[in-house]
Amino acid sequence: MKNDKLPLPKIDSRLNSIGIIMDGNGRWAKKRLLPRSAGHVAGAKIIKQVLSDLREMGVHHVTLYAFSTENWKRSKEEVDGLMELFYKYLDEQVLGALRSDKSFGVRIIGDKSGLPERLRRKCIEVEEASGDREFICNVAINYGGRDEILMAANAAFRERGGEITKEDLERHLYTSHSPDPDLIIRTGGENRVSNFLLWQGAYSELHVTSTLWPDFGRADIIKAVEDFYSRQRRYGGVIEE
């Protein structure tokens, strides 16, 4: 059966929030003797279908890792290309989708102040066009988990003027509007979290697939969901048999 015709798995409220580390664009391009930028373009193209599948299954929050605070170390050519791709994607795909579909929302998480001014303004425009919607996609751009925790702790400290609680800190996380991810999927085969949702992912199940991001399709979603439901989430406790 063709990948996009496979029936989607049934899920329940245990799988409400998913984080995705979209890795492998460069290798996908290299295998085809294409520039890395072609891998990123191919990676952007599949996002819509993946979100649509996850939403149809009943997931309400998806967080995509698009650009980390460490990704600035890449060549200027690649970084500039990614910034341009994010701008075009938000402008051409996301704004239109937000206007035509009132149950779909987008938030940009990360340090927007470090982005090129044009992209920063586009991120704000997208968030203003969005709002609290039934399905939320968080796009992490210039995002780093350690920076986020530090930023949130400082903001909470300033607010409280003294010792802070877990709840104070969580109110200041970029993702305060979304529940912690139940599942984090990483494509491209590396067994690392790479500074993604460090606080929020403390108890997330991790599913790593060797599939490169531009090839990620329904068969991979099915495997990730099966893997998730094969685990017993104990949150550090013990489940009585």
Does the footprint of ligand FPP cover residue 25 (CB under 6 A)? yes
Does the footprint of ligand FPP cover residue 112 (CB under 6 A)? no
Does the footprint of ligand FPP cover residue 26 (CB under 6 A)? yes
Q: Please tell me the distance from the alpha carbon of residue 42 to that of residue 46, in angstroms, as a whole number.
A: 7
Q: Please tell me the distance from the alpha carbon of residue 96 to that of residue 43, in angstroms, as a whole number.
A: 19
Q: Residue 80 is inside which H or E element, if any?
A: helix 76-88
Among 15, 51, 61, 86, binds ligand FPP (CB under 6 A): 86
Q: Site size for ligand FPP, by CB under 6 A?
A: 19
Say which of 3, 16, 71, 195 is annotated catalytic.
71
Dihedral angle at the C-alpha atoms of 20, 24, 25, 28, nearest 10 degrees? -140
State the minimum distance, in angstroms, from the CB of residue 21 to ligand FPP.
8
Given the rule CB under 6 A, which of 63-71, 128-136, 152-160, 232-240 is the region that contacts ligand FPP? 63-71
Contact 188, 27 (CB under 8 A): yes
Does the footprint of ligand FPP cover residue 186 (CB under 6 A)? no
DSSP conformational letter for 156 = H
Active-site annotation holds for 23: yes
Which residue, judged by CB position, is nearest to ligand FPP in the bound state? 26
Does the footprint of ligand FPP cover residue 188 (CB under 6 A)? yes
Active-site annotation holds for 154: no
State the minimum distance, in angstroms, from the CB of residue 148 to ligand FPP.
18
Sheet with strand 183-186: strands edge to edge: 104-109, 135-143, 61-68, 17-21, 183-186, 205-208
Say which of 23, 53, 215, 220 is annotated catalytic.
23
Q: Is 186 helix (H, G, I), strand (E, B) or coil?
A: strand
**CA quadruple 174, 59, 130, 97: dihedral positive or negative?**
positive
Which two structure tokens, joined as six digits, stand for 51? 């979100």
Site for ligand FPP in 127-156 (CB under 6 A): 139
Q: Please tell me the distance from the alpha carbon of residue 21 to that of residue 188, in angstroms, as a whole number.
A: 9
Catalytic residue annotation:
23, 71
Chain residues that interact with ligand FPP, rule: CB under 6 A: 22-27, 40, 43-44, 64, 66-67, 71, 85-86, 89, 139, 188, 213
